Structure 1
């Protein structure tokens, strides 16, 4: 492993003024006085091995169409090294433009319009939008109070899906967004058994797989017994901050390989060649940089807990096991004065506490209501930023709540 001096904390390298020069969604959606801790984009420079690979391609004019299986080969090698999974066969993969577009295409292989797709609410908001826009029905299986998969809730949802006829799929978030829960091998094995019992096809979104923090371990869903007819979608975009460099992989279990071969050829034309170069370089040589990032995220995870205890003691916070997302329960902040915003929920991405923190603290967070049942009264905070920005943001949030209560 590279010495820590080679890769210092990537979250501490860019100043606020440098970040303000960015033209991405995170930094251009809100006015310049807002601290943006919302969309899943990190405040880091590009990992040097990835930047070097992109420079070589650009210098060589290598900006044509993607070809070959190098991306899948590197992911397979990475999975064996990092997760002890030797079952990722390149022949059972295909490139897709990004994880969510891949999810839609895989769901089209195993469901028809009107069929049910089960999700664990609260869950990544695009699960609802992408699935619904493709004429599938969402059935929610709410997480338990511990923010983990409830097998009882899941079985009830499977029964409801089966009762209406047709096919059904379960769209799993592994690790879970927005809670940061990292599902254990035993939990996933139980899910696989339940899905087999009810004939439900599982599609696992594993985009945050490399971002598991100390104390937890990632388990690829396709590595557990019973998952042979399932699919997984993954990419390097979250762990190495490559959202603007489009590429992802769809992976089929052994019994799902024939289904994957039915995916239309034009889907594989969507990824960017530079994106595939970047993602391939991340899996091949980006682990030392990622190790430094994870140390920084672990420190920020602890710092966030300390800051909330100091400035927002009534906010519920269960430290995430993975991702760089914190799910904050703001239901005990007594924000009834802000309830007028709730009427905007159907037309706005913000509601309740998120709107209040934007208006009064000038901190942008993701509103919990868009994550489905169980999300109202919550916010999702992206702590993949510098300790200085994180400290300032939470201090502002605490001050806003105190001023609101004294007004």
Structure 2
């Protein structure tokens, strides 16, 4: 039903901007800073979008058996803060494309060209100020610098314009007296920006957040504008056919349901058994090589071997599928399906608070052609999607499998 609704382009074209009219109208009614802040939390819990900052529940990196609220820098659209701040040719080109993108979308909802251009300028000014307060991509790689455990009371002192106790309640979080903040300095800057920026400008910023979050899911003029902006950033020549985009979207939204169908057809038990064997053999080979190192001390070898034997391999798919209880999908309402799915995902994420860490969950869906190492779970993970030819085949010669997926296994092992 989800895929069928996504492929019903006739209905999507007829609707035009209808799916977002209600939210745009709500923004017009906002009249003070508190109403702006309340609306941003409403957007988040209803699966419509996240503004100002990132928010979610994840593992505490220093106590990996516990889930915590994580709050992070955010509020910008471009993929890197440097695109707002640097004047190299690539950054300038992306900013020009971004301005065109914003202006086009504002015009598509009925604004004149002059007003659309002014709104685009307003959004960029706000986002540039947020970007200036963000850490660089390099700084964000520092696990110590980005680990700041604050009490809610102390977080309030950094951002007196945001009452975090009330905000957390609005975000459906209760019983939490501490949060993890990746960049407290960003929130100090955000606090000042909240009052130095007019309510009218914040309303424009919120309009933009509705538009950018919806453009790829509305009628053709929005989708074309969205792709033109993508082209400027990635260089992609031709838009991916709709059926492929909607297949990927279905995988992203309902990955555990689609994944069950995928593994039943493409990943048999014999393939999993063979992959388990390859991992065990490579782990043993790694152990032999560590023991044979002349430059490594006996004490260091002992620690290296302890690390090697500690990680957990996960192959193919989870042993605990999600069944998406409570998620409503209707064959006739594509846009609402997306909203429902985002809202369901938010609620599911928040519901992890207070529960044991789920060590059976995969961070990728079964059809994904990729693999990863998770430092907080200390696991190497190989979805069923990558365990296909040419990377892997259960009946292939060892040379093919070790030369293909073997290299990937070794790569993920070396991360840990």
TM-score under structure 1 length normalisation: 0.29
Larger Rg: 2
TM-score under structure 2 length normalisation: 0.29
